[in-house]
Amino acid sequence: MKYHKAKLTIIITILLILLLVGSVQAESIMNPQHKAVLHSLLLPGWGQFDNKQPQKGLVIAGSEVVLIGGAIIEEINSDKAYDRYNSATGNDIEYQYNKANRYHKTGNYLAICAVLLWGYNVLDSYIYSKKSSLAMDMEKDRFIVSYKITF
């Protein structure tokens, strides 16, 4: 349990330092496209705010909070269940092990989803910060949808 608290404290400290340094540098030297991507790397949803998509930014940020919070809670529950497993006797051993393992797997799944969402967030901020356009056209017997990104 103490190990997880220390690890969490270190991660939060590093993220805050990156957030402060990144925001100062982004404001002074980067163009808007790169700034949105950097902001999304530092804090999920921030790049969407830069791209004038506040609802999407709130959904992404809120989802990240839920996923990361859930992963941390499940890992804490896994530690507690593992301690109960270590002190279990008789028929209770297998039940406690399965319970600890279930918490651990759920925490891992939530963490994986958080990482995937973070990646989507960065890609989304990159795509929408570029000059892009969506076009739809109807020809004789076809419906054409095209998406253009200018680099």
Q: For residues 82 and 75, what is the distance between their CA atoms, to the nearest angstrom?
A: 10
- Three-state DSSP at 22 gives helix
Integer Rg of the chain from CA: 22
Q: How confident is the model at residue 116 (pLDDT cuts 50, 70, 90)?
A: very high
The pair of structure tokens assigned to 48 is 């969407």
Report which of 95, 101, 94 is spatially closest to residue 79, judged by C-alpha positions.
101
Q: What is the pLDDT of residues 58-84, one digit of tens each?
A: 999 999 999 999 999 998 999 899 888
At residue 149 the predicted structure's pLDDT band, cuts being 50, 70 and 90, is: low
43 membership: H or E segment, kind and range: none
Could you list the residue range(s) of the whole structural domain that residue 145 is in? 2-150
- Average pLDDT (106-118) is 92
Q: What is the mean pLDDT of residues 17-30?
A: 59
> Rounded to a whole number, what is the largest CA-CA distance in the chain?
75
Q: How many domains does the chain have?
A: 1
Query: What is the identity of the amino acid at 44?
Result: P
Instruction: Determine the Cα–Cα distance for residues 29 and 38; give it in Å rounded to an integer.
Output: 12
Range scoring the smallest mean pLDDT among 34-48, 81-95, 115-129, 137-151: 137-151
Confidence bin at 23 (pLDDT 50/70/90): low
Q: DSSP H helical segments within the chain, as ranges?
A: 2-29, 32-42, 46-50, 54-86, 92-129
Mean of pLDDT values over 30-56: 82
